[in-house]
Amino acid sequence: MKDWYIIPEIVGSNATLRTAAMEASEAVEQGRHFVVEGEPGSGRRLLARSAWCRRSPGARSLFTLDCRMFPSGGPEALLFGERSGGGAPNPLHLGKLNLTAGGGLLLLHAELLPLKTQSRLAQVLGQSLLRPLSESVRLLLTCSCPIHAPLPLHSDLAEMLLRVRVPPLRERLEDIRSIAESFLRNASPFERIRCSQALIDRFCGYDWPGNVAELRSVLRHLLLEPHNGLLDLRHLAGLMGRDESCFALLQGGHRCAPIEAAFIRCHPSTESGSMQ
């Protein structure tokens, strides 16, 4: 695939990220199941959804389920369907895998699925190989996984998946200015707002445990300060008592793991669109 900008929603020129985008797009075109792995806030969902949206014309839509939000009764009925009790005959309630036939199913945070459910999911996907492509389901997953570590998934399911890795922001510092400028254009389309070189340099010296989602959060807060079109270090100073990331940026650019976990807990939805 020669088109370097195969997924235009992704901002930046980092080679690892562009390779991941091309691998995901090729997997969709070839009808393969794949998992996008990386750290929270790095844009896993955006890459998976964008790759699907670049699919061949005529393919069906993509359903998205967050495994953190499954009902207390478990994901079995939601995914595979069930028969309701108390009636004769008992009506069949179709699961998402049935309703998605011919399309795609994106499972976010797939590592949270019970192993029993993952094993059954692998069995269902194996059976779908015998069906016409128009009736089968393409599975897309996102998963948190350390670099070069085995997937935290059931072995039967893991061996069916192409692994696509999204790099954390600290590995693509060359993209920080582009990401910031893209966010500012979208956030204030009728006003030209820039980041000073000193602010970009400070951004590049930070390890960004919350990844692109954290960078967007910092910029969103900076926009609330009086800025006259130029965001600078003095705006960080004005927020350091109110924003944890701004405080860390001014104190040397590093945060410990407990603070990273706190950021993710306080911003559970920030990964959506986090690669813009």
Residues of CATH 3.40.50.300 domain(s) within the chain? Answer: 15-167
Contact 11, 34 (CB under 8 A): no
Mean pLDDT of the chain: 81
Give me the pLDDT at residue 130, please. 53
Dist CA 271 CA 62 (whole Å)? 18
Give me the pLDDT at residue 48, please. 94
pLDDT cut 70: percent of the chain above it: 78
Give me the pLDDT at residue 90, please. 47
Read off the amino acid at residue 115.
L
Cis link prior to 258 (omega < 30° from 0)? no
Dist CA 150 CA 167 (whole Å)? 17
Least-confidence region, from 159-163, 192-196, 264-268: 264-268
Sign of CA dihedral 196, 199, 204, 210: negative
CB burial of 217-249 (b: ≥16 within 10 Å; e: otherwise) equals bbbebbbeeebeeebbeebbebbeeebbbbbbb
Least-confidence region, from 11-20, 126-135, 162-171: 126-135
Which of 220 and 242 is assigned the larger pLDDT?
220
DSSP summary character for residue 255: -
Give me the pLDDT at residue 1, please. 37
Encode pLDDT of 146-181 as tens digits: 888 899 999 999 999 999 999 999 999 999 999 999
pLDDT of 103 strictly over 60: yes
Contact 121, 141 (CB under 8 A): no
pLDDT of 206 strictly over 50: yes
The closest of 150, 142, 146, 222 to 188, measured between CA atoms, is: 222
Token pair of 36 as six digits: 């996008």
Sign of CA dihedral 69, 72, 74, 77: negative
DSSP summary character for residue 174: G
Give me the pLDDT at residue 132, please. 55
Fold of 170-266: Helicase, Ruva Protein; domain 3 (1.10.8)
Encode pLDDT of 51-91 as tens digits: 998 875 556 688 899 998 887 667 888 888 765 555 545 44
Calculate ∠ Cα 167-261-79, nearest 5°.
Answer: 75
Contact 158, 196 (CB under 8 A): no
Dist CA 228 CA 256 (whole Å)? 34
Contact 106, 65 (CB under 8 A): yes
Dist CA 64 CA 106 (whole Å)? 5
Least-confidence region, from 60-74, 127-141, 155-169, 232-246: 127-141
HSE, side-chain direction, 13 A CA sphere, residue 20: 28
What architecture is the 15-167 domain classified under in CATH?
3-Layer(aba) Sandwich (3.40)
Cross-strand pairs, 108 = 66
Residues of CATH 1.10.8.60 domain(s) within the chain? Answer: 170-266
- Tell me the Ramachandran region of residue 208: left when phi exceeds 0, alpha when psi lies from -120 to 50, beta otherwise: left
pLDDT of 222 strictly over 70: yes
Cross-strand pairs, 194 = 230
Read off the amino acid at residue 16.
T
Give me the pLDDT at residue 256, please. 43
What stretch of H or E contains 124?
Answer: helix 115-128
pLDDT of 208 strictly over 70: yes
